[in-house]
Structure 1
Amino acid sequence: MNTLTLRHSSIALAISTALTSTAALAGGGGEKAELERIEVTARKSVENLQEVPVAVTSIGETELLENGISVMTEVQQFSPNTTLQASRGTNSTITAFIRGVGQQDPLWGYEPGVGIYIDDVYVARPQGAVLDLLDVQQIEVLRGPQGTLYGKNTIGGAIKYVTKEMTGDMTFDVEGTVGSYNQRDLKITGQLPLVDDTLYLGYGFATLNRDGFGEFLTSAQPDQDRENYNKDLTAARVTLEYRPSDDLFFRLAWDKTDDESNSKGGYRLLPSLLTDAPVPDSVYDSYTSLPTWNKVELEGYSLTARWYLNNNTSLKYIGAQRDSYSPTNIDFDNTSVRIFDVPAIYDDEQTTHELQLNHEGDNYKLVSGLYYFDGESCGQFQAILEVLGQSLGAPGLTREVSGCNNSTSKAAYIQGSVDLSEQWSMTLGARYTRDSKEAIVNNGLVFDTVYPESGWIPGYVRPEGQLVPTVLDDDKDWSRFTPRVGVEYQYNNDIMFFASYAQGFKSGTFNPRASTAEPAANPEIVDSFELGMKSEWNNNLRANVTLFTLDHEDRQYISVLPGDTSADLNQRLGNIGKSSANGVELELNYVATDALSFDASLGYIDADFEEVLDTNPETGEVFDKSDRFSISNTPDLTFNLGATYRLYSEHGDWVINGNYYHRGDYVLFEEDSLLSQDSYGLLNLSVNWYSPDGQWRVGLHAKNLTDEEYMIGGYQFVTPDPTDPSDVSKYTPGLGGDNTLIGYYGDPRTVSLTVGYRF
């Protein structure tokens, strides 16, 4: 306890000293400065952040660079009531929640609650959505349902990754980074004018490498790489932009990402009942009986065309195709024995088309469009329960599940704002969507150890033919009208109040783990009301606040059904839940002087399940079990405090910034969660230097300075004793017959040095 007290006292002293010193420096000679204008594309047109009646956070290229932010998940620190984290099992699969709404299970077929967009192209699957930032202009986080302009699966909000349009000048930017855990990164970006003022070629390449935070203490192959939480990724982008006239713009873009980082092994929180392996000393160490390799391959093409018909009207087309392929090894039990291993393959393709018409009149603005989506989402996994099979006298036991959830979506939308007077305006929007989904599920037991493909482990040859029966082959259509109504009051040039109602829906779906021909789950619906203020005071303080309340109905949820043996993986998907949330979000930017500025954000949310209806499969009785449910991945309190100090000299410019990010306690699962994370804080510090000619830059970035351990994912396949849930010795083993309670953790303390050159 004395050590803990000393540690926190030292941290407090360091923070107070830094802030006091920075304030003294700023007061010594800086002059009053003004806020910078921030432009966002939240409403599918470029607007001043302060004029947009939407709760949106925008983090620009310079802020990302000077804070050493390299992956999209770090953006959660700057957006209230937002969770963006790398999921369990891989480095590239995202867990995204906004205002208590998101996607718990990343299996194919399930739909997200937060939409991810790359240059307005929707990314349908969470695999590969933890984007490493390359040639980015800004990241925008839109909170609350975006059902009118962005459509289905944005009931929590949307994350927009916006890349830079080319300037027409020849540029070249190279950046190298070295850091903790043998980090070795190289990024190269630039543009080349092929025809002056008309045709430009842009390019980007990155190779990102890091040793693991821990290691696999055992693996299926002793000669394999045993790094755990390592990074081995390459990414490339090529863009061709054509501007034949001032009224026409075309962009053809290609991007590809290959992530060959190892699979991510979890930390056993309980000793194994079936092996003698102890709980590892480090939360980043693990055991596995699977290969350690993992792969995520992403590739995308897009065409953007924009035509300014006149000064007030523009027509825009965005067409894109994206493919992803991810074979992965997830050892659920994290032991050196095949107790509960899950090798899997995710294979997705999507094609999207959007035609958008924007018009601006004397006292109104209008955005309208047509949208089409065609996606194929397929996969398979093998739940290998070899130990259990051998106890039954068989060479092994595997529950094999495979299939596809393919969908098409067609939509038409329109949203406009009209000035009713000099101070009052109104926003009206509507979207009509028609969804179609086809699903096939194969599910059954094989009394052997089966992997997805031949060669998955050395010497393995997959048996030919269909091994398990088709249990579901069905299709269904849904349609939905989602409105938005808002009113805005411009109190003066610097203060705007707004109130709005918005609705969004998350698409219906079939259960990809179905064991019988069960019906599809219907769409989820979120109704949200917001009351907000966008304000600037004395040209140096920006204060934006939003109050919100939402009702989340027809929540889709997987119920685990009792089986005859522990080999059963019987699950039922249905619309059984209803929840509500109330909260507040505050974002502050204060420019004290030319040298010193402060940023702060705060989010508070009170979210609870109001009703969770389930049916006893034996008696048919309907009962409410909402007392066993909590909103997952949603701290009741998040806040961020940051300061930036700029020092200008003849030897170059210095930018020193730091921030403290706090997340309140949260649970990892909705029903009877055994995994919870206490509140914690992350302290980060960066020092940046720019050469006098602006060509060289150096950044030293320290993340998680206090080396906090915090859980971001896990698996729970144990059942607590209902008479004493806190007694871990009374847990009943789950699937596979072992105490499978596993945690995955965020990054430890890291320090990195980046050197960049630009001309």
Structure 2
Amino acid sequence: MEASHTEVRTPTARWRNKNLICTVSVPVLLACSSAWSQPGERSGVSAMMEEVTITARKVEEGLQDAPISVTAFTGDGLEARGMENIEDVGAVTPNLSYQNNAGAGGSSSVATVYIRGVGQRDFLGTIDNGVGFYIDEVYIARTVGATVDLVDVDRIEVLRGPQGTLFGRNNVGGAMAIYSKRPTDDFEGYADASFGTDNMQRFKLMVSGPITDDLKGNFSVVDASQEGYVDRPDGTDTGDDNQTAARGGLLWDGSDAFEVHLTADYSTEEENGPAFLLVESGASLASGFGAFYNNAVPGACPYPAGLTASDPACFNDQWTSDDANYGTWDNYSNTDTWGTTLRAKWFINDNLTLKSITAYRDLDSEFTRDADSSPLLVTHFYDTFETEQYSQEFQLQGSALGGDLDWIAGLYYFKEEGNNTNILDFAIANFYSSNDFTTESEAIYAQGTWHASDKLDFTLGLRYTQEDKSFDPYQYVISSNIGYNSGDLVVPPGVYTTDASEVTPMVNASYHITDELMAYATYSEGFRSGGFAQRIFPPLGYVPSFDPEYVDSYEIGLKYDSASQPLVINFAAFTMDYTDIQVASQSEGYVGLFEDNIGNAEITGFELEMKWAMTDSLFMELGTGYTDAEYTRIDIQAPLVAAITTDSEFDHVPEWTANLSLAQDFSFENGSLLTARLSGSYHTAFYNNVANTESIKTPEVDIWDLTLGWSSPSDAYTLDLGVKNLTDEQYILSGYASSSIGLESVVLDRGRQWFASARYSF
């Protein structure tokens, strides 16, 4: 059977310092009290110091034993750090940028994820993710719906660098893997309620335990809501939260040789859309949509007189604002996702195991945005996005040569079918676009680790992938003010296809210099298959396509795990050759973005992470990451123009990221425990689009959070109080800009928030 995924690392007695309770750097949070006893074996900070057992290499091993760059957190560790959503992981993981980025369409649940400078800018079905996203070993194809609440999570693993062998499926930047908790042998559960800023309400329920002697189950549900923070004239407030998610599982392990684990999940979101604010109307651009609209309105609006006109019939900077959105068209974001996974494991003998992973997932979303943020019809977006995916994977795992060789081999099949329908309602014209897409991927892979000695290991992995894609667009003009006729096709009808096949190797060597210190070196390759540009106007007469992109990565690392005190330090340095980069860029005179291979780049950097339990009751955690991403060659073909040069900066990639956390336990004489935690995250400024538009640039920012958590002697009752963004920083979270349309919009952070939560565990 599978082993437990967590192991508590309790600080040893020699590292206790009972006099530090009132003298450490956290006493500003609380005053000392004579009611506090000396720290004992119970420790609130122990959850953050847990050693995580990971499966990043498809085998169970300790985080410190895995010769790869990976950050991992247990479910208890996530709760101890106050993390409620997958986005929160980005603040504590070096060189990871996880952003809820609505883009042009206005979905509230689109993730933009970058690891070491490689990621994905759009949710379209014709484009693949640069960072793989997995739930219970199942690849999630689309970034719509990827802002996941962390409920009943066993652990999260963030793998950095190309994952071209064991994970595959175009993971050129890395992978994020979420694993759910398995049903427990004994009956247990909890009920949790939280309240906070802007009428935030979050309710959770989890139960787990035996159903029969051989069958166990678990079920969890969360219902979350919060009012928005940008008002509209119709009384709605954008930036709100309104979602419900449920997950359940059944585990049959009645045989020593066989087990079956069935899981299912469902989530629904019905929200008013992201909190966009218009910061630039673009009316000063003679070729922009604002100028076109003003020229079409009789009276005082024609360019350039309309630039400063106060007439509400004119579109100009009177509609820009730093706290309100004046749009009156529909603005909402609805998403429903569900899926089921069947994992069967056959323990053939002590040295051989066969595993099957069968999964189906369904996504149905509808979202719309009044992009001009005014009562006028300048730019409106409407989307429906529907996909279904099926995957099947077989893994055969074993050992040979008397245990000196551990190996795994697998077969993988994936198929996705979907449709993205757009209605684009512009000042210049109206368009209808219905786009069917399919992706089919097949792969065979193998990886083996040879234990050459007690200290030296060599690992070799290889994967062959074949991918086939099709694109069937039906796009036409509804009406036009610029010379096109109703019914004119934007692109020629037909089914367009592309395919790619690639062999991606991985070579790794690790050496235990001492019992505490390990060094490793890795060479790995990854690729992301090509696709098609979907949003095009004026008509081109053909459908633009793009080719695969490639990443070759070189990495060295050190992992230190002290035998004499609870201290771990991990370091990794890397350099990557990034070729035929897929970039969605704006072309002057065209509406929408053209995805194309624009050239090459070189990316170098490092990550440093440390966790240290300085005493039984005092814990420190820190991390820092550096990414230097530079374009080395730009090769852009018509109809694109050179909006990107070798001087351009990568978008969504801060040069520096850092995080720091201090946690202190205060034990009371009655056995209850209070834990105070101060945490901060920092990143340098970064652009939110390829064109490096200054007005939507996310600035350099550091955010501090404070939490106080109390637990009863039996841990049956817990209370938490906290403040997020203590200094009330107002900064740009994400943004959208179009040089052709002329609009520039941003989403700001909500600002300082407080919360209080209570839990009863049974």
Q: TM-score, normalised by structure 2?
A: 0.86
Match for residue 748 of structure 2 among 745, 748, 752? 745
**Does the aligned pair in 2 maintain the 1:153–1:505 contact within 8 Å?**
yes
Q: What corresponds to 1:48 in structure 2?
A: 62
Question: 2:477·2:488 contact (CA, 8 Å) conserved in 1?
Answer: no
User: Matches of 1:572 and 1:680 in 2, distance apart?
Assistant: 31
1:704 aligns with 2:730: no
Q: For 1:94 and 1:238, how far apart are their aligned partners in 2? A: 24
Q: Is the 8 A contact 1:472 1:516 kept in 2?
A: no
- SS of alignment partner, residue 38 of structure 1: strand
Query: Residue 167 of structure 1: CA displacement?
Result: 1.6
Counterpart in the other structure of 2:389: 350
Query: Counterpart in 2 of 1:556?
Result: 582
Paired position in structure 1 for 2:89:
75
- Equivalent residue in structure 2 for 1:502, among 506, 521, 524: 524
Pair 1:175 & 2:192 matched: yes
CA distance in 1, matches of 2:644, 2:241: 41
Preserved CA contact (<8 Å) 1:292 1:329: yes
Q: For residues 760 and 40 of structure 2, what CA distance do their matches in structure 1 show?
A: 30
Contact 2:476-2:488 at 8 Å conserved across structures: no
Return the alpha-carbon distance in structure 2 between the equivalents of residues 87 and 623 of structure 1: 25
The CA distance in 2 between the partners of 1:665 and 1:409, in whole Å, is 37
Distance change in 2, residues 1:266/1:50 (3 Å): same
Q: Is the counterpart of residue 592 in structure 1 residue 614 in structure 2?
A: yes
Task: String of CA shifts for 1:429-464, please: whole Å, max 9, x gaps.
Answer: 000000011111222322179xxxxxxxxxxxxx9x
2:265 equivalent in structure 1: 255
Q: What is the deviation of 1:28?
A: 10
8 Å contact from structure 1 (residues 206, 234) kept in 2: yes
Match of 1:207 in 2: 223
Q: 2:356, 2:265 → 1: CA distance?
A: 19
Distance 1:623 1:467, change over 3 A: closer
Task: Tell me which residue corresponds to 2:170.
Answer: 153
Partners of 1:483 and 1:346 in 2: how far apart?
A: 35
CA contact (8 A) 2:281 2:320 kept: no
- Tell me the secondary structure at the aligned position of residue 318 of structure 2: coil
Q: Which runs of 5+ in 1 are unaligned?
A: 1-15, 389-396, 450-462, 719-733
Corresponding residue for residue 452 of structure 1: none
Identity among equivalent positions (%) equals 28
By how many angstroms is 1:36 displaced? 3.9
- Counterparts of 2:575 and 2:27 in 1: how far apart (Å)? 39
Aligned to 1:607, the other structure's residue is in SS state: strand
Aligned-residue offset at 1:23:
12
2:474 counterpart residue number: 442
Are positions 1:98 and 2:125 aligned together? no
Counterpart CA distance in 2 for 1:506 and 1:24 is: 55
- Is residue 660 from structure 1 mapped to residue 680 from structure 2 by the alignment? yes
- Report what 1:723 is aligned to: none
Aligned to 1:754: 757
Matches of 2:496 and 2:118 in 1, distance apart? 28
Match of 2:604 among 553, 578, 582: 582
Q: Which residue of 1 aligns with 2:148?
A: 131
Out of 623, 626, 651, the position equivalent to 1:632 is 651
Q: Match for 2:419: what amino acid?
A: C
Contact 1:172–1:189 (8 Å) recurs in 2: yes
Matches within 5 A, 1:445-484: 445-447=477-479, 470-471=492-493, 473-484=495-506
Deviation at 1:480, TM superposition (A): 0.5
SS in 2 for 1:287: coil
Match in the other structure for 1:59: 73
- The aligned counterpart of 1:529 is 554
State the SS of the aligned residue for 1:62.
helix
Alignment match, 2:5: none
> Alpha-carbon deviations, 1:300-359, whole Å to 9, x = none?
011011111122221111111001011101222222211011111111110011111121
Distance in 1, matches of 2:612 and 2:37, equals 18
- The farther-off stretch of 92-101 and 663-672 is 663-672
Aligned partner of 1:117 in structure 2 is: 134
Letter in 2 for 1:627: T
Contact 2:412–2:443 (CA<8 Å) still a contact in 1? Answer: yes
1:30 and 1:593 in contact (8 A); partners too: no
Cα offset, 1:716, TM superposition: 1.2
SS in 1 for 2:345: strand
Distance 2:94 2:81 in 1: 18
Cα separation, 2, equivalents of 1:213 and 1:624:
34
CA contact (8 A) 1:690 1:697 kept: yes
Q: Match for residue 302 of structure 1?
A: 341
- Matches of 2:659 and 2:345, distance apart in 1: 38
> What SS is found at the alignment partner of 2:333?
coil
CA shift at 1:17, angstroms? 8.7
Provide the C-alpha distance between the structure 2 equivalents of 1:52 and 1:748, rounded to a whole number of angstroms. 38
1:676 aligns with 2:692: no
The structural deviation recorded for 1:466 is 10
Output the amino acid matched with 1:688.
G
| TM-aligned CA deviation for residue 203 of structure 1 | 1.0
Query: Aligned match of 2:315 in 256, 275, 284?
Result: 275
Q: CA deviation at 1:648?
A: 2.3
Tell me the CA shift for residue 470 of structure 1: 4.2
**Partner residue of 2:16?**
none
Q: CA deviation at 1:651?
A: 4.5
Q: Which amino acid aligns with 1:54?
A: I
State which drifts further: 625-634 or 468-477: 468-477
Q: In 2, Cα distance between the equivalents of 1:170 and 1:415?
A: 39
- Specify the code of the residue in structure 1 equivalent to 2:679: N
Aligned residue type for 2:367? T
Q: Which runs of 5+ in 2 are unaligned?
A: 1-22, 284-313
Code of the aligned partner of 1:264: P
Cα deviations across residues 2-43 of structure 1 (Å, max 9, x unaligned)? xxxxxxxxxxxxxx9953658997999558999643211111
> What is the CA-CA distance between 1:624 and the residue it aligns to?
9.9
Could you say if the C-alpha distance between residues 295 and 624 of structure 1 is closer, same or farther in structure 2, counting changes exceeding 3 Å?
closer
- How far does residue 682 in structure 1 lie from its aligned partner after superposition? 0.7
Shift of 1:289: 3.5
For residues 223-282 of structure 1, give each alpha carbon's deviation from its aligned partner in whole angstroms, at most 9, with x where no partner exists.
xx5111101101111211111213321111111101001112411112574436735654
Kindly tell me the number of residue pairs found equivalent between the two proteins.
Answer: 688
- CA displacement at 1:638 relative to structure 2: 0.5
Q: 2:251 matched to 1:241?
A: yes
| Cα drift, residue 579 of structure 1 | 1.1
Quickly say closer, same or farther: Cα 1:559–1:181, change in 2 above 3 A. Answer: closer
CA displacement, residues 526-578 of structure 1 (integer Å, 9 cap, x when unaligned): 11010000112333211100000111111112344444xxxx52654321221
**Are 1:272 and 1:278, in contact at CA under 8 Å, matched by a contact in 2?**
no
Is 1:367 aligned to residue 418 of structure 2?
Answer: no
Task: Give how far 1:51 is off.
Answer: 0.9
1:478-493 superposed matches below 5 A: 478-493=500-515
Q: Check conservation: 2:414, 2:441, Cα contact below 8 A.
A: yes
Which segment is superposed worse, 669-678 or 745-754?
669-678
CA–CA distance in structure 1, aligned partners of residues 628 and 593 of structure 2? 30
- Alpha carbons 1:562, 1:570 under 8 Å: kept: no
Q: Distance in 2 between matches of 1:697 and 1:624?
A: 54
- Establish whether residue 322 from structure 1 lines up as the match of residue 361 from structure 2: yes
> How far off its partner does 1:628 sit?
5.2
Amino acid across the alignment from 1:324: L
Residues of 1 paired with 2:211 and 2:684: CA distance? 52
Q: Secondary structure of the residue that 1:64 maps to in structure 2?
A: helix
Q: Secondary structure at the match of 2:580?
A: strand
**Any idea what SS the aligned residue of 1:665 has?**
coil
Q: Distance in 2 between matches of 1:686 and 1:663?
A: 21
CA contact (8 A) 1:628 1:672 kept: no
Alpha carbons of 1:178 and 1:608: their partners in 2 closer, same or farther (altered >3 Å)? same
In structure 2, how many angstroms separate the alpha carbons of the residues matched to 1:507 and 1:627? 24
Measure how far apart 1:506 and its partner are. Answer: 1.0
